[in-house]
Amino acid sequence: MTKHLTPHGNSAALIIDKPILALLNISMTTPLEITTDGRSLVISPSIEKSRQKRFSAAMDSVNALHGKTLRKLAK
């Protein structure tokens, strides 16, 4: 799918079709993160801070229990 930017005041807007928003479960109030690798834009829903904290805690727990084994498997 090819899209073009649309003028919006002094900025440029990218219109995302409703089916794509529905597929990604993005609404008008969903916070989005925009990142780049220097060539491409990546737009994704922001991860909630509470979810990020739970994920980090789970990773710490797994590393505490299985870190030594995981390091051996990585070799």
Q: Which domain holds residue 44?
A: 6-74
Distances (CA, A) of 34 to 42, 51, 60, 70: 6, 19, 27, 32
Is residue 58 domain-resident?
Answer: yes
What is the dihedral sign for C-alpha 60, 62, 65, 67? negative
Is residue 32 domain-resident?
Answer: yes
User: How many domains does the chain divide into?
Assistant: 1
Per-residue pLDDT of the chain (75 residues; tens, 9 = 90+): 899 999 999 999 999 999 999 998 899 998 898 999 999 999 988 877 777 788 888 999 999 999 899 999 998
Provide the 3-class DSSP secondary structure of residue 19: helix
Extended beta strands in 1-75, E state: 6-8, 11-13, 32-36, 41-45
Is residue 1 domain-resident?
Answer: no
Is residue 24 domain-resident?
Answer: yes
